[in-house]
Amino acid sequence: MKTIRLSLAALALTFCSLGALAQNTAPTLTAYYDVKDALVATDAVRAKAGATKLVAALAKIDAAKLSTTDKKALAMAKTKATAITKTTDVDVQREQFDGLSTSMIALAKATKPAAKAYVQFCPMAAEGKGASWLSDKKEVRNPYYGDKMLKCGSVKEEI
């Protein structure tokens, strides 16, 4: 009886995971990368426009197919992206980008993007606490400092 219960539980988890995997997050990641690239270039107007696209792309993700944890990550990503749309102060945008990136990393792990995504980390960001972000390229380009510390960071993980 225990074996049957464990088998059913494993099967249920597999179906839940498949639901998350079935989502096409490519438009969401593309919009996120636009925001990241704008912050690398220290272009607040472009970051704001990219965040607007990101909010729209996040709205198309079917939250019903996500776990409770991933639903929270989706909600936080929407909140942080929306905050970026409301300012052209690049420092404020970068502060919001930290939380956005944490949420987007969780969503990328949950949905397993078709193209490789790289989790990168800068130990100097977030007032020395360090901060991560996603990139579609292995080469590090730091969105938290732009050209001040363009290459500060390293690849921590591939998704």
Q: What mean pLDDT comes out for the span 5-34?
A: 59
Taking 50 as the threshold, does the pLDDT of residue 143 lie above it?
A: yes
CA distances for 69 relative to 106, 107, 135, angstroms? 9, 10, 22
- The DSSP letter of residue 60 is T
pTM over 0.75: yes
pLDDT at res. 121: 97
Q: Say which amino acid occupies 60.
A: K
Nearest to 95 by CA among 108, 77, 83: 83
pLDDT at res. 112 = 87
pLDDT cut 90: percent of the chain above it: 77
pLDDT (tens digit, 9 = 90+) per residue, 86-121? 999 999 999 999 999 999 999 999 988 889 999 999
Strands 131-135, 118-122: pairing is: antiparallel
Q: Which of 21-25, 31-35, 71-75, 92-96 has the lowest mean pLDDT?
A: 21-25
